[in-house]
Chain A
Amino acid sequence: MKALTQTELETFLHALQPAWDVRAPIRLSDGTRALGRLEEGPLALLGGRIPRKPTDVFFAQQEKVFDALPDGSFRQEEPPQKPLFVLGFTAEDLECLEFIDRFFSSGFADDIYLRKRSGAVIGGLTGKCGSAGELLRIAGGTCDLELVFDGERFIVAAYSEAGEKLEAAMTCAESGASLEDLRRASEALPQDNRRLLEQASALLIAERVPDAFWAEIGERCIACTGCNLVCPTCTCFGVQDWRYPTHIERSRMWDSCQLDAFMREASGHNPLGSEALRTRRRIHHKLAADLRRWGHLTCYLCGRCDTTCPTGIGIVAVAREMVARHAGETARLQG
């Protein structure tokens, strides 16, 4: 297998730029890591998952729906001039991306998302590249190309024709590298949080979580919306028109189910009229409603909401509290 040093990988990414729009983890001038273009900051491949949701490459915080021109015509964003190569997804991020690909494609296909997503080549970045050098789970697929850091070099695994083409263009010294040991270590990573979510999901579906629990969790929510803004599977958006002298722009921007106005109607009716209901909605949607709609949970444990929430009510924290308080009770009731 090919294995590239950081310098070789950086050289490769720069060499791609004339033909590709390359996005990779970079360090911004304020010190944060983000998926960006190479000219926007130095590469920062190591350090774990990117703090922002990586799916924002295809579903941006604010993006144009169309410009309405005075002659009555409409103008949309042009498709990308160069194909996108986005490197930097963790295994969990890739699962999130796979889900929102299906979400935006199902039923009425969302052309704004698909215009950006179509033709993009996705690179996973896994292995020993956690924030403290710890092993991040190996994806083993679900992307075109995976770079697995073994502590010294990035071992290359291609999973699609597009990935194989990029791999063929990489130059590095003969390595004799293998993913065997890393794969075994990856498979041995603990799955405790996955089991926790599944337990919480079962409690929600069995309606074993009382309203008082949500009232208490909701009390702790300060409606900062951080949980939604960093979540790679949160896809809710609002729509707004902006007036300019030459045209009217209709944009869509991320919205948050933790905001009071999320579902409020012009009549005043608000199906999510309390923080308890809104907090329940956020958790229930990922762990119960989506299970019924899509056949699986839509939290893939990327960890961002738990890291971001200033009051400690990210999804794993809430699931842990839910299970600690109500799982025993359920077992008693079922027993």
Chain B
Amino acid sequence: MPRNPSSNSGHTRADSLYIPATCRIEAVSELTPQEKLFRVSLPDGRPLGHRPGQFVQVSLLGWGEAPISVASSPTREGYFELGVRQAGTLTSAMHRLEPGDTLGIRGPFGNPFDLERMSGRDLLLISGGCGLAPLRSLIQYCEDRPEQFGRVCILYGAKSPADILFKEEIRTWEASASFACATTVDNLPGGACYEGQVGQVTRLIPPLEIDAPRTLAAIVGPPVMYRPVIDELKQKGLTEAQIAISLERHMRCGVGKCGHCTIEHLYCCSDGPVFWLSEVSGLRGAL
């Protein structure tokens, strides 16, 4: 049966589900040639009220609306951040925005990472491509509340050195006593100056020493990444109930009405985007 809607939907207006709150862009930074990070503030500095793993529906009036994961932790107060790859018309229009411009926000929506269950456990946080943006919300949360979690291991795979997101932050994570962090790239183009690992993100898993019963994993990445990463995690002794995945779908409404994100009987926007693998592994089209 349907889960209850997110209790953190503070900025969905009481009088209308579909009218966005007008937010201000505080800063824009270039992550890669295709991806930008937008720092956004709500009117009156109100907190977004999200939890790691949730998303917002971003509106550009005249261009439309699209779901974008929140890339920053709720522990970083006064703003929230959106990592956006330039892929369609709306995200292309977003990439033309500058500090001081406005955009519309509805949400936060969706089922977040289960922080209660993750509390006290070792975490294995695995992302690929721009999947690091939503996972960054959880990583920052762990960074700000280290006492709440056991060992936190971050694995990240990008296509090439030029595609690596949050390069400076990754260096901070690598240097942090709270984290183990490894990055790899699929391809190393000729002439690229890069000293890190080369190969699929799955290659980072076998060398890990994992206390399987104590560990929970989270995976966010492109669709092709899930099955091989899940296979490696199962080799390490993790069960489907220990693996959280965040699935991408093009939610038009974000609230379980428009039907574009259904996975059999589930709605990715409201039952997900974060699922335990055991909830969806038997469902056609989930992975």
Which positions in A face B, CB cutoff 8 Å?
A: 65-66, 68, 72, 74, 76, 103-104, 106-112, 235-241, 243, 248, 250, 252, 255, 257, 262-267, 269, 271-272, 277, 280-281, 284-285, 288-290, 292-295
Q: Which of A248, A263, A264, A269 interacts with B61 by CB under 8 Å? A: A248
Q: Is B256 touching A255 in the complex (CB atoms < 8 A)?
A: no
Q: Which of B2, B61, B222 interacts with A293 by CB under 8 Å? A: B2
Residue B264 lies at the interface, judged by CB distance under 8 Å to chain A: yes
Residue B190 lies at the interface, judged by CB distance under 8 Å to chain A: no
Given the known interface contacts A241-B62, A241-B64, A269-B248, the answer about A262 and B260 at a Cβ–Cβ threshold of 8 Å is yes
Stretch at the interface among B9-17, B23-31, B46-54: B9-17
A235 to B259, CA, bound (A): 7
A277 to B262, CA, bound (A): 13
Which chain A residue lies CB-closest to B3?
A: A107
Which positions in B face A, CB cutoff 8 Å?
A: 1-2, 4-5, 9, 12, 15-19, 22, 61-66, 87-88, 91, 222-223, 248-250, 252-253, 255-266, 270, 284-285
Q: Is B258 touching A265 in the complex (CB atoms < 8 A)?
A: no
The residues of A that contact B4 with a CB separation of less than 8 Å are 107
A331 to B256, CA, bound (A): 37
The residues of A that contact B249 with a CB separation of less than 8 Å are 263, 265, 271
Q: Is B257 touching A104 in the complex (CB atoms < 8 A)?
A: yes
Q: Is B16 touching A66 in the complex (CB atoms < 8 A)?
A: yes
Q: Which of A108, A255, A263 interacts with B255 by CB under 8 Å? A: A108
The residues of B that contact A107 with a CB separation of less than 8 Å are 2, 4-5, 255-256, 270
Q: Is B248 touching A293 in the complex (CB atoms < 8 A)?
A: no
**A interface SS class:** mixed
Given the known interface contacts A107-B4, A237-B252, A292-B264, the answer about A68 and B257 at a Cβ–Cβ threshold of 8 Å is no
Which chain A residue lies CB-closest to B87?
A: A266
The residues of B that contact A240 with a CB separation of less than 8 Å are 64
Which chain B residue lies CB-closest to A268?
A: B87
Q: Is A74 touching B258 in the complex (CB atoms < 8 A)?
A: no
The residues of A that contact B5 with a CB separation of less than 8 Å are 107-108
Q: What are 14 A-B contacts defined by CB distance under 8 Å?
A: A103-B257, A107-B255, A108-B5, A108-B9, A237-B257, A238-B258, A239-B253, A255-B258, A266-B66, A266-B91, A267-B87, A267-B222, A289-B264, A293-B265
A289 to B284, CA, bound (A): 11
A111 to B13, CA, bound (A): 11
Q: Is B256 touching A108 in the complex (CB atoms < 8 A)?
A: yes
Given the known interface contacts A111-B17, A236-B260, A255-B260, the answer about A248 and B87 at a Cβ–Cβ threshold of 8 Å is no
A252 to B17, CA, bound (A): 13
Which chain B residue lies CB-closest to A238?
A: B252
Q: Which of B16, B223, B253, B262 interacts with A269 by CB under 8 Å? A: B223
Q: Is A66 touching B19 in the complex (CB atoms < 8 A)?
A: yes
Which chain A residue lies CB-closest to B92?
A: A266
CB distance from A121 to the nearest CB of B (A): 25
Q: Is B264 touching A68 in the complex (CB atoms < 8 A)?
A: no
The residues of B that contact A74 with a CB separation of less than 8 Å are 16, 19
CB distance from A186 to the nearest CB of B (A): 32
Given the known interface contacts A265-B248, A269-B222, the answer about A239 and B65 at a Cβ–Cβ threshold of 8 Å is yes
The residues of B that contact A277 with a CB separation of less than 8 Å are 285
CB distance from A4 to the nearest CB of B (A): 39
The residues of B that contact A250 with a CB separation of less than 8 Å are 18, 61, 65
Greatest chain A CB density within 10 A among B1, B65, B255, B264 is at B264
Which chain A residue lies CB-closest to B271?
A: A293
Which chain A residue lies CB-closest to B4?
A: A107
A107 to B253, CA, bound (A): 13
The residues of A that contact B252 with a CB separation of less than 8 Å are 237-239, 255
